[in-house]
Amino acid sequence: MTPTIAPSARRSTMIGLFVSAGLSSSGYIAAIIIAPLVAEDMLGSPKWSGLPFAMGVIGMAFGATNLSNFMVLHGRRAGLLLGYGVVMAAAAIAALATSAGAFWLFTLGMFAIGVGHSANRLTRYAAADLYPPTERASAISWIIWAGTIGSVLGPALLEPMRNLAERIGFVDSAGPFFVTIGGAASAALVLRAMMPRLPAHTATLDASDAPSAQKSVIEILALPNVQIALVALTISQGVMVLLMTMTPVYIRTASNNFGAIGLVIAAHAFGMYALSPLTGYLADRLGRIPIILTGVALLIISTYLAANAEGLDTTRLTVALFILGLGWNFGFVAGSALLTDSVQESDRIRLQGLADSLVWIIGAGAGLSSGILLATWNFPVLGLVGTVFSFLPILIIGRHRLFSATQ
């Protein structure tokens, strides 16, 4: 489905979507870096410090469905602006809750930030709407690549915003939420200026999009490539969240060095987003499964490095978290492509919705479990658990390859 839009308007809209995605991601990254630290301060233990992050992930799952329904009626532009408005209000609540030491209000704020931030995740579909089928993957990859802006800008603003928060009467750990407010506000301003008011229904069906007989969910889930894709997506997300969420807590416990936290998380986010266009190119040239397996290998390397951490080794953690982000990127991009390849057009949207739900549920569970594991054992155990789960896609792929060879 390709909307009718003038080339100049398409170019302007694409630039606006790219810039807004980068700006809003900077604010979200700042929020998720500080969230477990704030929670630990409020609770006096890291055991449940992953809960606010997990609620943010659940919020994204909730927001994606509801913002999509809103966009059907009012268009992409209105839905994206609404999402960023929710982020601004939610981040203000989180900042106030941080200063007040109100854990449950803070957790509610993080949930609402997740609801609004789902607009950032939906931006790639708004970009895809602008282009014919042969150019949509490229449009999506550029929106994902925009996350690189956030991976650099968000952590870089942590220390200045902590200082600003103290000067205006907040606790210093409320400062990162000023980045969240500013990122969402900037994204909204860019969209208002550069994205035209397109009708809610701007596309017409191509002949290839004609509906055909649909398979049941059970039939779809029985397909080998669907199983491989789902495992690649969920394990990539789960292992990444498991290790990333508690890394700031681990660093602060060892040194209270916010600069080190910013460096490590910036390297991680850079690995997640910066090479997205290259990953898509390699997945198209070499195949989906080889790139998934490469991503699995990277996850295993990163979690092994974390599992063998001795004290605070910033260099090791920076390398480990960069590789972790890159492994996520390989598994997520190739897994998404394999999922899309595996079913016919009439089944695709249902399957993608199911996959996203599983990804966010696994992510929320991993975020919550990470705090419990760190409090009960230690950071190396967290890395070891990630290593064990990282082998699961290899087992699933091997099982299907062995089964196929015996047929």
* pLDDT band at residue 216 under the 50/70/90 scheme: confident
**Residues found in the chain:** 407
pLDDT tens per residue across span 299-316: 999 999 988 876 678 889
Residue 189: the pLDDT is 96
Residue 133: the pLDDT is 57
Structure tokens given for 35: 């969230």
* pLDDT band at residue 383 under the 50/70/90 scheme: very high
For 44, other C-beta atoms within 10 Å of its C-beta total 8
Place of tokens 């087992």: 395
Domain ranges for the chain:
1-197, 215-407
* pLDDT band at residue 333 under the 50/70/90 scheme: confident
**Which CATH superfamily, name and number, covers 215-407?**
MFS general substrate transporter like domains (1.20.1250.20)
CATH for 1-197 is 1.20.1250.20
Cα–Cα dist 125/121, whole Å: 8
pLDDT tens per residue across span 16-65: 999 999 999 999 989 988 898 899 889 988 778 888 988 998 898 888 77
Structure tokens given for 396: 């699933």
- Entry pTM: 0.73
Q: Largest alpha-carbon pair distance within the chain? A: 70
CB contact at 8 A, 389 and 239: yes
Mean model confidence pLDDT for the chain? 85
CB contact at 8 A, 382 and 62: no
Q: Which range (39-43, 46-50, 100-104, 403-407) has the least confidence?
A: 403-407
Cα–Cα dist 223/66, whole Å: 29
pLDDT at 2 over 50: no
For 225, other C-beta atoms within 10 Å of its C-beta total 16
Cα–Cα dist 254/148, whole Å: 28
Topology agreement, domain 1-197 and domain 215-407: yes
Residue 213: the pLDDT is 61
